[in-house]
């Protein structure tokens, strides 16, 4: 069964609106303490199901259910710890992008009907983007030298333009609106071109 078929079989998924953007294959540590999201995490772990992460467009991460972008990324829970009673520390890994087709709020938790968005076509980074490959290789080396849970999930795909663009977009100091724009782009080479431009400007500053 294909991943798209699996996602369509999910029906509704719980949504965690956040002030950040999760890319496919991205790693996102989260500290969960609101009851609705603690229950959501436990439900997802019990049922071995993903949840969706969407960038907030209006509202806040706490309190009343926030409005959010129509395009987000499914996340699986890779690790979960309980640092103190009532608080969960999780490490979420980005799966596949999706488009929200409808949503409802159930006891403060957003649940959405989603449509999967196809994964990036696999294409090698052109030679003019060697600087991106070099930078990302150095970042990976530094993270591995530190030990502990990495902020970049294996397997590394330094021969994939889309994977490279996503990982650099995560480490550059970009506004969340810009990350959202990059995440929603369907052409991995176009995304890498923009990320390379941001990287060059950052190096000049």
The tokens of 86 are what? 């009532």
* Structural domain range at position 89: 3-116
Verify that 92 and 140 share a domain, yes or no. no
Verify that 91 and 12 share a domain, yes or no. yes
Domain end position, chosen among 96, 116, 136: 116
* Per-residue pLDDT, 35: 94
Angle (CA) 6-123-78 rounded to 5° is 40
More confident call, 141 vs 9: 141
Domain end position, chosen among 84, 116, 148: 116
Verify that 24 and 110 share a domain, yes or no. yes
Contact in structure between 22 and 151 (CB atoms under 8 Å): no
Alpha helices, H only, 10-129:
35-47
pLDDT tens per residue, range 126-178 = 999 999 999 999 999 998 898 866 789 999 999 999 999 999 999 999 999 99
Question: Within 13 A of 161's CA, how many CA atoms are on the CB side?
Answer: 23
The tokens of 199 are what? 């990287």
Among 73, 63, 55, residue whose Cα is nearest residue 33:
63
Task: Work out the pLDDT band at 7, boundaries 50, 70, 90.
Answer: low
Residue 25 has pLDDT above 90, yes or no: yes
Look up the CATH number of the domain holding residue 20. 2.30.130.40
Residue 51 has pLDDT above 90, yes or no: yes
Verify that 7 and 59 share a domain, yes or no. yes
Residue 85 lies in a domain: yes
Residue whose tokens read 């030679």: 127
Distance of alpha carbon 180 from alpha carbon 46, whole angstroms? 30
Number of domains in the chain: 2
pLDDT tens per residue, range 172-195 = 999 999 999 999 999 999 999 999
């Amino acid at each position: 069964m294909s991943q798209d078929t699996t996602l369509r079989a999910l029906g509704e998924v719980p949504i965690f609106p956040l002030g950040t953007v999760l890319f496919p294959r991205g790693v996102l540590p989260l500290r969960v303490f609101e009851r609705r999201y603690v229950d959501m995490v436990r439900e997802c772990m019990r049922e071995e199901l993903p949840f969706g992460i969407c960038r907030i467009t209006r509202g806040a991460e706490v309190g009343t259910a926030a409005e959010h972008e129509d395009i987000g990324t499914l996340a699986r829970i890779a690790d979960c710890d309980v640092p103190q009673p009532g608080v969960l520390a999780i490490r979420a890994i980005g799966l596949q992008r999706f488009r929200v087709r409808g949503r409802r709020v159930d006891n403060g938790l957003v649940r959405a009907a989603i449509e999967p968005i196809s994964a990036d076509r696999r294409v090698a980074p052109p030679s003019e983007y060697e600087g991106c490959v070099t930078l990302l290789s150095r970042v990976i080396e530094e993270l591995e030298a530190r030990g502990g849970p990495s902020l970049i999930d294996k397997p590394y795909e330094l021969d994939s333009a889309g994977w490279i663009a996503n990982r650099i977009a995560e480490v550059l100091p970009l506004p969340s609106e810009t990350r959202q724009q990059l995440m929603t782009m369907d052409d991995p080479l176009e995304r890498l071109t923009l990320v390379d431009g941001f990287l060059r400007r950052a190096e000049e500053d």
